[in-house]
Structure 1
């Protein structure tokens, strides 16, 4: 994300020096009370856990299964905010399950089936609890279909920032980080459970629906247009999107024939896409630094939403609430490697997303003849010890400070300080090795420290303790 969240005017800036606000609400947001299906009686087994154990968001995600694929069939009417969805979820049980949960906020659940047979279900806050007719064996693959509908709104996090499926006058702005996917589809809503996606999005004719991956089908009938998008690469749920608006789709080609699909709101002026002009060059540069681009396509969604005020690195197609600056575009592109392909195993590790993308932004500016990364570091380091800029520690900012400025800027400074400590050769080898070793996986800071020590052949525990976990301005490292 830039500034990934809370950027406001910073969407057109090239630095990440603002306070970015707090994280979206933990999983305490409520659903629709208790709905009951008409399936059979539960069978012996163990109920899946109602969370994956993330210390920042204990109710996020669910235990007992691994999702392989989401098929989302959604019909949305912006004028009335009427929403009807069918989610077809293919998964594999990781334990013998008598019951399992999906995260879903709001909506009326109309029917649930498991492997084609009606299943019992009820609601407990954001938890949709599903009991199949027979226990699922460990290792068994199964398919759950949830049919649901209702009216969308404008969900907010604990500090009032919009996220998830945000209804707008002309459609929707959809940006989920960290746990907002459950505001529009039933999901195992945590980065540790990545899956592929198909989106079938039906909207009034004249509107455009944009999702992750590639557009593989489009048809208009009886005043409605259906857009079919396919995202084949593993994706964390917070990176999914299905934004609807008055978009023009613009296609171009990146390095190695990479499809680039940009969606630009028609209400914006011709300069709205100026910040995207060097996307191809950026992809080539970051490929040289980090390794081959991770996914099968790229692009951007540029909306005219003045209320959200931020950008998010939605996988393959970053979402901008307004026209982005070049630095913001570099930031969100770098996230495709660090954050999207290599993702945090728990939300405490958010600096591995934001510190890396912010430092990539510094490197891009230097590459294009602007300030050097060292000059950026020196400017920030000149701030006094008493400045709030230095806190919270980026390695453990707390759930309500996921997007604090220190996570971005002190996180980037951590990487530059590491570079000066171990030298350019080891540092850039480390960046490539980090991506190569963890592509499509989830990671922790401890994993990064181990790899940094292996590559540099130096003991670095004290260094990372100082920069990531000690409050205040580092003095010696």
Structure 2
């Protein structure tokens, strides 16, 4: 996400009465399994995500009518049980569930707030792969955070935009909506004639149906946290090309800003090439950008492979920042929201490196500017006090300062080895702050507790930069 103060997010309410009542085993197995946890105890969103299973793939089939705001959806979720399961939960906000099956058999469905509980006919054995299908519809919610920023499903004058950091993806599809559970995606979207639907990954087909509607199919083979999934529907001007010799590029811009954004959109392959030199091989099978009118979305977001920008924020520093997230945040993803500085500190430091390489501004000068920002010292980047602080200045500016202090401590050769090696070691996985500090010390070959104690965890501002 682009650097901004953004208070956090939807308070997830979930009363799990039916689970407490006890879900017994299926008709053939007696009482064997137990319900999966209705939340993963994230430090900031304890009810977000669900336990007892790991999702491998989402197949979403959607139809949207901008005139009514209605979304019709079918989510096919392929997962593996991590325990013997008698029931399991999905996160879903607002929409009405019409039907659910597990492995082709009807499943009972109960709803409490944003928690959707499915009880299959038979228990699911630990280690078994299963397929849940949920059919749903309704007008998706726009989630407004306390600071006024909006996520979830954002209706626009000609369509809609879906953005999900940190909790908004539950507004348009049911799932295990915690960053620790990543999965591949296939998204099929049907929209009225004249509109386009743009999502993550590679566009594998686009055709007009007999009634004039357009159906697009998007394939994302690499694991993706659900907050990085996106869907943008509107009258976009699109351009296609390649980057890095083989990676397909697709950019989409609202017609009102298409001409004004064209030059920078064309610069994306060059920025991506520079970032591969700094950060290592590009981790995804496609790239691009979506540029909206100001007001349609209030901030830039690093949606996987194809970041979203309001036109007013579509500039070189922000493009560098959001594309750097493809390595830091999207490929190596925080294991919990407490580790968000691993996303934003790295992406902010990418801006400093770009200025160092192209704007004749040493990273030290950027560091000194961040050091002088009193807002950056409100709390340690590794310990935001509340969910409202996850996107505040310390996570970005002081997070980048941590990296600069590592660079000073270990020297450029080791530092740039860390910068490339970190997303390589945890490619398409999740990691914690402790994983990073151990990794950095292993590459450096020395103890870096002096950096961590003062810059990463320290509560006060040092006397000098």
Q: Secondary structure at the match of 1:312?
A: coil
The offset of 1:152, in angstroms, is: 2.3
Residue 71 of structure 1 corresponds to 59
Find the residue that maps to 1:219 and give its secondary structure. strand
User: Are positions 1:247 and 2:260 aligned together?
Assistant: no
Contact between 2:301 and 2:322, CA under 8 Å: does it hold in 1?
yes
Partner residue, 1:9 = none
Partners of 1:190 and 1:30 in 2: CA distance: 18
Q: Say which SS state the counterpart of residue 173 (structure 1) adopts.
A: strand
Q: Which residue of 1 aligns with 2:13?
A: 28
1:73-92: CA deviation from partner (whole Å, max 9, x where unpaired): 01101121011100001111
* C-alpha distance in structure 1 between counterparts of 2:61 and 2:15, whole Å: 23
Uncovered stretches (5+) of structure 1, i.e. residues with no partner: 7-19, 35-39
2:117 is aligned with 1:117:
no
SS in 1 for 2:416: helix
Tell me, yes or no, if the aligned pair for 1:50 and 1:61 is still in contact at 8 Å.
yes
1:379 Cα offset (Å): 2.3
- Structure 1: distance between partners of 2:390 and 2:263: 30
Structure 2 counterpart of 1:332, from 316, 322, 327: 322
Question: Aligned partners of 1:366 and 1:340: how far apart in 2?
Answer: 24
Measured after TM superposition, the shift of residue 475 of structure 1 is 3.4
Aligned partners of 1:468 and 1:140: how far apart in 2?
A: 41
Indicate the residue corresponding to 1:312 in structure 2.
301
1:134–1:269 Cα change, 3 Å: closer
Q: CA–CA distance in 2 between the matches of 1:371 and 1:476?
A: 20
Match runs of 1:87-106 below 5 Å: 87-106=75-94
Cα distance between partner residues in 2 of 1:180 and 1:453: 36
Q: 2: CA distance between counterparts of 1:307 and 1:251? A: 23
In the TM superposition, structure 1's runs of 4+ consecutive aligned residues that sit over 6 Å from their partners are none
User: Alpha-carbon deviations, 1:139-184, whole Å to 9, x = none?
Assistant: 1111000000011242222433110121122111211011111110
- TM-score for the superposition, normalised by structure 2: 0.94
Q: Which runs of 5+ in 2 are unaligned?
A: 20-24
Aligned to 2:142, what secondary structure does the other structure show?
Answer: coil
Contact 2:198–2:231 under 8 Å retained in 1: yes
CA contact (8 A) 2:321 2:350 kept: yes
Query: Taking structure 1 as the reference length, what is the TM-score of the superposition?
Result: 0.91
Distance 2:219 2:163 in 1: 18
CA distance in 2 between partners of 1:2 and 1:456 (Å) = 30
- State the alpha-carbon separation in 1 of the partners of residues 76 and 217 from structure 2: 15
Q: Which residue of structure 1 aligns with residue 2 of structure 2?
A: 2
Candidates 345, 357, 363, aligned match of 2:347: 357
* Structure of greater relative contact order (alpha carbons < 8 Å, 6+ residues apart): 1
Cα deviations by residue, 1:227-251 (Å, 9 ceiling, x for unpaired): 1111111101000011111111210
Q: Which residue of 2 aligns with 1:406?
A: 394
Structure 1 counterpart of 2:419: 431
Report how many aligned residue pairs link the two structures.
453
Shift of 1:275: 2.9
1:476 Cα deviation after fit: 6.9
Matched residues in 1 for 2:156 and 2:372: separation? 42
Q: Which among 380, 395, 399 is matched to residue 382 of structure 2? A: 395
